[in-house]
């Protein structure tokens, strides 16, 4: 799926707003206290922790879906481990971001940006 940069930001922002409006209550967010994982979400294949806005986006997705683990992966990443994604499951939105280094003639140049829509599921 191809989505514009502003589209993924808008979708994640709307998910955050919906989670807050759904009754976050006082100062404690419900995904911190309902049995879902409060650990930093981690990718099953790379064992890397998600960063930035993806942490909040995946906490919200885990809470909404009743997940007790902070381990995330794509369909293929789970299949490679002999797992089957539950029927009807939908991907969670994440923003894939990385640094792109400049050409050899300008090694100090770094361009930061988000690529196309990344997905966790």
Q: Helix, strand, coil shares of the chain as percentages rounded to 5?
A: 30, 20, 45
Domain boundaries, given as residue ranges, for the chain: 5-97+115-120
Asked if 46 contacts 80 with a C-beta cutoff of 8 angstroms, the reply is no
Per run of 10 residues, the mean pLDDT along the chain (length 121 residues) is 71 86 64 65 94 89 85 93 90 81 59 46 51
pTM above 0.75, yes or no: no
Please tell me the distance from the alpha carbon of residue 55 to that of residue 61, in angstroms, as a whole number: 10
């Amino acid at each position: 799926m191809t989505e514009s940069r502003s589209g993924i930001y808008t979708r994640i922002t709307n998910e955050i707003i919906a989670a807050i409006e759904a009754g976050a209550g006082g100062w404690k967010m419900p995904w911190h206290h309902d049995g879902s994982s409060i650990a930093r979400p981690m990718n099953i294949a790379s064992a890397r922790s998600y960063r930035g806005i993806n942490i909040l986006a995946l906490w919200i997705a885990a809470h909404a879906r009743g997940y007790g683990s902070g381990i995330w992966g794509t369909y293929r990443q789970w299949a490679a481990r002999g797992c089957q994604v539950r029927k009807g499951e939908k991907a969670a939105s994440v923003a894939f971001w990385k640094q792109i280094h400049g050409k050899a003639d300008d090694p100090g140049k770094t361009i930061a940006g988000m690529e196309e829509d990344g997905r966790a599921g």
